[in-house]
Amino acid sequence: MVFSEGTGTPLEGTGGPTGDRGADAVIIGAGVSGLTTGVTLAESGLAVRILAERMPSRTTSAQAGASWGPYDMVLDERVLRWSRETYEVFAEISRNTLSGVRMVYGTEAFYEHVAEPPSWAVEVPDYRRGLPSGLPAHYVDGWRYTIPIVEMTAYLNHLSDRFVAAGGAIEIRGPLESFREVPKTAAVVNCTGLESRWLVPDAAMRPTRGQLVVVDNPGIDTFFQDNPLGDDLTYILPHGDIVILGGHAGDAEAGMRPDPAIAKAILKRCRTVDPRLEEATVIGHRVGVRPGRPEARVERDARKDMLLIHNYGHGGSGVTLSWGCAREVATLLDG
């Protein structure tokens, strides 16, 4: 990976388009949305720069679990297409064992009978209705299938490497106070997530605090997730030697320190689902704030003084929608 930090001058990938001419696009934000958009545009031959307040490993994206599934964005009719496109790209990326993306079989479980499973789930190739034996009795319905599970540290490194290899440049700088601070270029893509509350500004943004527990892996190789519409979710996501346990969706004003009571509740729920976790050692905790919005904003801005495209407000589905939304940005640039 190639970064410049605090210098005001980005370091550039060798031999790529960014070093040969001025940027065609400047992307603001180096989380999963910003990096995926950067890779999409740079690999199409555009000269692209990313400006970010912090390195990818320090973004909200780095704290995610993360699994594929557009749980909290289903009211947007574009989500099915975006999530389908992202699934297909992840299936391809998973062939690279160092990418952080793996296709993992597992269970979605619900406390109530599901009258009609969502189409995004049914479309997964090995979708099968029904639950495995041995789950707690309060789970009465669900399905099993294979979906992408993403270890975010490795994956953000993968995206950064691809971006730089395509000639992209990443500059780590202080927070922007205005889009006018961006160097003049053909297009600006806003991937700032929660920061769009102030930068756009967008009063529709709703931050939601998330908390996870990281434990060593006692031999778990399938995932588990329960009712994704509740505040206290239960999920077990194996990532090689570790397992990510979740979760929580709470008040963002509660701060960024791990709450011991929440962590204890997460462990209790997950151990009820899989007793092997009783002996698992807690390695760490993760806390982040999801950039919630009634629907993701992926569109051209109406302002006249620049070509500005927004790609933010994905809530807890940023990973799930990342490649579909990045391709949408590319289409908007062409239009």
Residues making up the annotated binding site are: 60-61, 192, 235, 290, 315-320
Residue with tokens 């990096």: 35
* 3-state SS string for the chain: CCEEECCCCCEECCCCHHHHCCCCEEEECCCHHHHHHHHHHHHCCCCEEEEECCCHHHCHHHHCCCECCCCCCCCCCCHHHHHHHHHHHHHHHCCCCCCCEEEEEEEEEECCCCCCCCHHHHCCCCCEECCCCCCCCCCCEEEEEEEEEECHHHHHHHHHHHHHHCCCEEEECCCCCCHHHCCCCCEEEECCHHHHHHHCCCCCCEEEEEEEEEEECCCCCCEEECCCCCCCCCEEEEECCEEEEECCEEEHHHCCCCCHHHHHHHHHHHHHHCHHHHHCCEEEEEEEEEEECCCCEEEECCCCCCCEEEEECCHHHHHHHHHHHHHHHHHHHHC
Judge contact between 117 and 143, C-beta under 8 A.
Answer: yes
Residues forming the annotated binding site for D-dopa? Answer: 235, 290, 316
Write out the two tokens for 284. Answer: 């760490």
Please give the backbone phi and psi of residue 76, each rounded to the nearest 5 degrees, phi first. -90, 120
Judge contact between 125 and 241, C-beta under 8 A.
Answer: no
Residues forming the annotated binding site for FAD? Answer: 60-61, 192, 315-320
Write out the two tokens for 311. Answer: 């790609």
